[in-house]
């Protein structure tokens, strides 16, 4: 009943009375599918469950027409979830003949734009390219199937050798795809889109190595794990990948949305941001849901690298203005076609509301991240452990509770004098096991051992008329500005 009412609503919507005028620069495709093939496909899809089975991934023949050129193609529905194929308007994968590529493309995906949070995915695509992260080419297109009115789709080139070669990448790669669950636990959840033919090793060998590192004994030692991961990835590229996801709320780069390829010429894994979507702001004090990131970015040093990337982006008003302008331009393209798209599922009122919400989420994510990264708070208390005039020595313990949300750092300041600065190794007592500090120490509000740190200052005895300054400073590790401190009574 809901679908019937929705279809009636769409048919009488005033926006749909006049056919859409396709904006300049937006490609238009006409696709012809035999009626019998379409009926057979719909019959098969009616028997599908909550995840598209192999039975539903049947290829049918079609004619694909663009600029008066007719391409003989194969096409099938794409997307695991029912929203891609249970309604009249479906997502498609189209395969072109090797001898008749379309703009150098062997395969393309036509994806329902609402499944990619409308203009959010194209903004994610732009941001990724600005960060020098590899992206499949994507754009909005208008499509007519069997003489329908133009329908809005997001066109995304599929994972093929041709796609990589066009972007100057080596074709000597393994491009991986993952399943929904246990992506980084079970190698049986991995498969390949592209297999390198130049290696004697099985194409999943590199993936097996990655999983053995993540799940091995070394995963419990963050410094050792980081060193091993750095052998398989470029460190900055990993930080950029995570930063890119945080700008969109970090809620979707997990399971079958993780895209990695292993480049044999580099000897490294390379991440590809994919289906990042858009969510409400996520606190930087929450670890990521992606198991690889959750393991790796448990390290304060790794998270700090990511936060510095984000701070540089959020402090660049020109870059932000360009992103918002781009998002608004893509919205204009959407609205020029979608409101008159008679095959869509959502009503125009729902779409307009969703478009407004997506823009609010983009702004909220940037605002929230900037606020959190610029804020470092800590509680500080101190006590005199030993004070001996005869030995001319004083030992003062300093307890710091890192409250965040941003990582802070503690160090000696200019008034520290001749004293020495030690970090407690865990027994809460000053002894020979404590570590002499000569550099800044990061104060992580979410470290596994807890967010309370103890330090010792060991220096000359101080008389009543002498200086009682502790000689330390605590700053925001990203902005370099003083942290907000709450001084507790000794």
Domains (ranges, CATH) in the chain? 12-372 (no CATH), 376-487 (2.60.40)
Summarised one tens digit per residue, pLDDT across range 366-376 is 999 999 999 99
Q: How far apart are CA 163 and CA 106, in angstroms?
A: 8
Summarised one tens digit per residue, pLDDT across range 31-65 is 999 999 999 999 999 999 998 999 999 999 999 99
Q: What is the pTM of this model?
A: 0.91
Amino acid 215: pLDDT: 83
Q: How far apart are CA 378 and CA 486, in angstroms?
A: 6
Q: How far apart are CA 99 and CA 102, in angstroms?
A: 10
Closest-CA residue to 179 (of 290, 255, 115): 255
Between the alpha carbon of residue 317 and those of residues 35, 119, 175, 314, the distances in Å are 53, 20, 36, 7
Which residue's entry shows tokens 């192999």? 54
Residue 462 binned pLDDT confidence (cut-offs 50, 70, 90): low
Residue 207, H or E segment: helix 205-215
Q: Which residues pair with 412 in a beta bridge?
A: 472
Phi, psi of 16 (to 5 degrees): -100, 0
Whether pLDDT at 72 is above 60: yes
Summarised one tens digit per residue, pLDDT across range 328-367 is 999 999 999 999 999 999 999 999 999 999 999 999 999 9
How do strand 190-194 and strand 92-95 relate by DSSP bridges? unpaired
Amino acid 217: pLDDT: 75
- Tell me what the mean pLDDT of segment 468-485 comes to: 90
- Tell me what the mean pLDDT of segment 222-240 comes to: 87
Q: Record the tokens describing residue 67, joined without a space.
A: 């600029």
**E strands of 236-388, at which residues?**
260-263, 268-271, 376-388
Residue 245, H or E segment: helix 235-246
Amino acid 204: pLDDT: 84
Closest-CA residue to 275 (of 116, 399, 422, 154): 116
Q: How far apart are CA 389 and CA 391, in angstroms?
A: 5
Residue 467 binned pLDDT confidence (cut-offs 50, 70, 90): very low
- The answer to whether the CB of 269 falls within 8 A of the CB of 232 is yes
Summarised one tens digit per residue, pLDDT across range 397-442 is 999 999 999 999 999 887 777 889 999 998 999 999 999 998 999 9
- The answer to whether the CB of 445 falls within 8 A of the CB of 407 is yes
- Tell me what the mean pLDDT of segment 273-279 comes to: 95
**Which strands make up the sheet holding 484-487, listed edge to edge?**
435-436, 420-423, 452-459, 393-405, 376-388, 484-487
309/168: higher pLDDT? 309
């Amino acid at each position: 009943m809901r679908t019937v009412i929705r279809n009636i609503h769409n048919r009488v919507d005033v926006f749909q009375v006049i056919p859409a005028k396709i904006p300049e620069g937006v490609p238009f495709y006409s696709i012809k599918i035999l009626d019998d093939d379409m009926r057979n496909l719909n019959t098969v899809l009616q028997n599908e469950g909550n995840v598209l089975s192999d039975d539903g991934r049947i290829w049918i023949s079609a004619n694909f027409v663009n600029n008066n050129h007719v391409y003989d193609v194969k096409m099938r529905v794409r997307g695991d979830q029912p929203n891609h194929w249970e309604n009249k308007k479906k997502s498609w994968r189209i395969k072109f003949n090797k001898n008749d590529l379309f703009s150098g493309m062997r395969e393309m995906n036509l994806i329902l734009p609402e499944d990619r949070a409308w203009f959010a995915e194209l903004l994610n695509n732009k941001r990724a390219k600005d960060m020098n992260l590899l992206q499949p080419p994507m754009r909005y297109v208008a499509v007519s199937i069997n003489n329908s009115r133009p329908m809005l789709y997001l066109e995304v080139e599929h994972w093929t050798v041709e796609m990589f070669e066009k972007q100057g990448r080596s074709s000597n790669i393994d491009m991986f795809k993952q399943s929904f669950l246990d992506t980084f636990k079970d190698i049986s959840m991995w498969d390949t889109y592209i297999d390198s033919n130049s290696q004697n090793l099985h194409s999943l060998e590199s993936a097996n190595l990655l999983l053995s590192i993540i799940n091995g004994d070394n995963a419990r030692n963050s410094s050792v794990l980081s060193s091993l991961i750095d052998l398989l990835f470029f460190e900055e590229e990993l930080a950029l990948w995570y930063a890119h996801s945080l700008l969109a709320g970090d809620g979707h780069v997990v399971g079958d949305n993780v895209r990695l390829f292993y480049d044999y010429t580099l000897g490294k894994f390379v991440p590809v941001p994919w289906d990042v979507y858009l969510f409400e702001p996520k606190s930087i004090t929450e670890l990521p849901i992606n198991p690889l990131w959750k393991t790796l970015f448990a390290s304060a040093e790794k998270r700090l690298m990511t936060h510095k990337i984000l701070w540089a982006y959020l402090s660049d008003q020109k870059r932000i203005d360009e992103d918002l302008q781009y998002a608004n331009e893509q919205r204009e393209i959407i609205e020029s076609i979608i409101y008159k798209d008679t095959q869509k599922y959502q009503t125009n009122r729902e779409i307009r509301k969703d478009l407004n919400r997506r823009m609010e989420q983009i702004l909220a994510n940037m605002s929230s991240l900037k606020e959190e990264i610029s804020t470092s708070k800590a509680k500080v208390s101190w006590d005199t452990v030993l004070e001996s005039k005869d030995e001319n020595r004083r030992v003062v313990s300093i307890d710091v509770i890192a409250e965040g949300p941003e990582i802070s750092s503690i160090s000696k300041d200019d008034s520290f004098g001749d004293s020495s600065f030690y970090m407690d190794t865990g027994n809460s007592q000053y002894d020979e096991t404590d570590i002499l500090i000569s550099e800044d120490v990061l104060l992580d509000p979410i470290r596994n051992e807890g967010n309370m740190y103890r330090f010792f200052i060991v220096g000359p005895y101080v008389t009543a008329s002498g200086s009682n300054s502790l000689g330390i400073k605590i700053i925001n590790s990203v902005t370099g500005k003083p942290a907000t401190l709450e001084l507790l009574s000794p």
